[in-house]
């Protein structure tokens, strides 16, 4: 069985106002705020997370439990550009996510696979959509 947990940190967050966030909300249960170890960068109008060895660096977002992981991951992978080739911007990987006041759980997260611009680091690990 596929792990149903998904950690989101950008356009898929409940307050993002993005159509795909609304779709995710229909197909999953929001478990609440959570964080993962990583560094958050502004890539363009969207963010990207990269791994870091520093446990103090956290990216803040939300943890969801997908109702039907197989169906949801099909469209989520397409949305994140995972076309089955090696040049995707993102990869879906499992990482420990830390919900507030509870123990870590394993969750899927889309990690950025290219070298981010160091000048676009979001030091507090909290994504805010750019003004339109």
Question: What is the 3 state secondary structure string of the chain?
Answer: CCCCEEEECCCCCCCCCCHHHHHHHHHEEEEEEEEEECEEEECCCCEEEECCCCCCCEEEEEEEEECCHHHHHHHHHHHCCCCCCCCCCEEEEEEEEEECCCCCEEEEEEEECCCCCHHHEECCCECCCCCC
Per-residue pLDDT, averaged over 107-112, amounts to 93
Task: Tell me the pLDDT tens digit for each residue of 7-42.
Answer: 999 999 999 999 999 999 999 999 999 999 999 999
Task: Tell me the pLDDT tens digit for each residue of 36-87.
Answer: 999 999 999 899 999 999 999 999 999 999 999 999 999 999 999 886 666 7
* Domains identified in the chain and CATH numbers: 5-122 (3.10.490.10)
In the prediction, which pLDDT does 1 show? 60
In the prediction, which pLDDT does 87 show? 77
**Selection from 58, 74, 60, 59 nearest residue 24 by Cα:** 74
């Amino acid at each position: 069985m596929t792990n149903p947990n998904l950690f989101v940190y950008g356009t898929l967050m409940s307050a993002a106002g993005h159509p795909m966030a609304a779709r995710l909300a229909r197909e999953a249960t929001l478990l609440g705020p959570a964080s993962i170890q990583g560094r958050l960068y502004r890539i363009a109008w969207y963010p990207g997370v990269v791994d870091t060895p520093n446990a103090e660096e956290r990216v803040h977002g939300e943890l969801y439990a997908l109702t039907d992981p197989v169906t949801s991951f099909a469209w989520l992978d397409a949305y994140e550009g995972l076309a089955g080739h090696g040049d995707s911007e993102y990869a879906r990987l499992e990482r420990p996510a830390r919900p507030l006041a509870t123990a870590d759980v394993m969750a899927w997260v889309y990690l950025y696979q290219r070298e981010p611009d160091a000048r676009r680091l979001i030091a507090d690990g909290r994504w805010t959509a750019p003004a339109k």
